[in-house]
Amino acid sequence: MTELDDQQRLMNGIFWYGIPTLFRCEHDEDPANADIGLVGVPHSTGNGTTQRDQHLGPRAVRNVSAIGRRVHNHFGIDPWEMARVRDLGDVPLSEGNNNERSIEMITEYYARLDAAGCRPVSIGGDHSITGGILQALGGGNLTGGEKACLLHFDAHTDAFHNIPHFMGAVKSAAHWASYLVTEGHVDPQYSVQVGIRGNTRSLEWLDPSYDLGYTVIKKTDYDSMGAEQVMAIIDETIGDHPLYITFDLDCFDPMVAPGVANIEAGIEGFGIDQVMELLRCVRGKNVIGGDVVCLMPTVDSPNQITSYRSMAIMFEMISLIADRHHQT
């Protein structure tokens, strides 16, 4: 390696230098050229609240993520050398104010990735984007025709089929975990929702998840059982099934990630080390993709810590997929 190469590598890790692609990856819109496709999903009308700046999340992470182009010390790997990782750009949502049409457009976009065998790691966007993504992936090429299973980090279950819509959005951030099951894209028997916490709007609001068949691990369950038992439950439940990881930043404690929509402040959320340990327990599994959602850069701290947290979670997902890809 020449001195010029060394200097370029140094500069590529500085977030304010150069073109802000995700993790300084090459921008290539063709999913056939990528094993792992990094995608921005600038969508915020599935939340239905006044906190609609979540569409700014992809740009915020692009602006800082060059600093996250690192080797993975815990796994002892360099994911960028193990797989073709490309920034595919953003899902073009020309009808962004129409939630239902946007979800369909997201599905149409990810169907191209699924057909190409490109495993997506996405940054949103509100949590309704997961519904659009898994309408394309669940039962598709990447799962080998199987339903997907979920490792779902969240403060909320997002399975509220007991209400017909959320402030007008039907396939909303509050509904995706339900309709993906009833429409046959996700198998709840092999799926885990972890980190659920806070005072819900009714005493029955966890029942829809239980009725669908999800394994629900509340934050209070984690606190009483400990990480080892929770990781054993995750491992046993998911097994060898094709796995999609969806990560709502509100599972973090607000002190850890303040720039988040629908924040839960009444009970302590996860810390970064707790989350990393839980994510790494699925190493070796068939991770078909993942997303990070609900970043609100307009209410983040001045040092953009929630964008950095988002970048770090994406890096874990990239590393999990690259590690498995290298072994197969």
Residue 188 tokens, joined: 């709840």
45 contact partners, CB below 8 Å, separation of at least 6: 52, 96, 97, 98, 99, 102, 126, 128, 169
Q: Are 83 and 35 in contact (CB under 8 A)?
A: yes
Can you give the residue range of the structural domain that contains 97? 3-327
135 contact partners, CB below 8 Å, separation of at least 6: 103, 106, 107, 110, 180, 183, 185
Q: Give Dmax (Cα) for the chain.
A: 64
Residue 215 tokens, joined: 């394994």
Query: How much is the pLDDT for 169?
Result: 73
Q: Please, what is the end-to-end C-alpha distance for the chain in angstroms?
A: 29
* Residues 101, 283: Cα–Cα separation, whole Å: 35
Task: Quote the number of domains for the chain.
Answer: 1
pLDDT in tens, 195-239: 999 777 677 788 989 999 999 999 999 999 999 999 999 999 999
| 3 state SS of 217 | strand
Query: 18's torsion region: left (phi>0), alpha (psi -120 to 50) or beta?
Result: left
Nearest CA among 275, 276, 295, 290 for reference residue 322: 290
Query: How much is the pLDDT for 4?
Result: 57
Please list the pLDDT of the chain residue by residue as tens digits (328 residues). Answer: 566 577 777 778 787 888 899 999 999 999 999 999 999 999 998 886 657 799 999 999 999 999 999 999 999 999 999 999 999 999 999 888 899 999 999 999 999 999 999 999 999 999 999 999 999 999 999 999 999 999 999 999 988 777 766 655 768 777 899 999 999 999 999 999 999 997 776 777 889 899 999 999 999 999 999 999 999 999 999 999 999 999 999 999 999 999 998 889 889 999 999 999 999 999 999 999 999 999 999 999 999 999 999 999 999 999 999 999 877 7
Query: How much is the pLDDT for 48?
Result: 67
Q: Are 139 and 307 in contact (CB under 8 A)?
A: no
Place of tokens 């989350």: 275
Q: pLDDT > 90: what percent of the chain?
A: 78
Residue 229, domain CATH = 3.40.800.10
Nearest CA among 284, 293, 292 for reference residue 319: 284
Query: How much is the pLDDT for 218?
Result: 96
Measured in whole angstroms, the distance separating CA 314 from the mean position of its chain's CA atoms is 7
Query: How much is the pLDDT for 7?
Result: 79
* Residues 6, 86: Cα–Cα separation, whole Å: 22
Nearest CA among 220, 215, 218 for reference residue 241: 215
* Residues 105, 48: Cα–Cα separation, whole Å: 18
DSSP for 42-57 reads ---TTS-SS--GGGGH
Query: How much is the pLDDT for 252?
Result: 98
Alpha helices, H only, the chain: 3-12, 57-64, 79-82, 99-116, 129-137, 176-182, 207-212, 219-225, 227-238, 272-280, 305-327
Residue 113 tokens, joined: 């990735």
Residue 86 tokens, joined: 């490309």
What is the model's pTM? 0.95
What type of residue sits at position 274?
Q
Between the CA of residue 316 and those of 117, 200, 321, what are the distances in Å? 20, 30, 9
56 contact partners, CB below 8 Å, separation of at least 6: 42, 295, 296, 297, 298
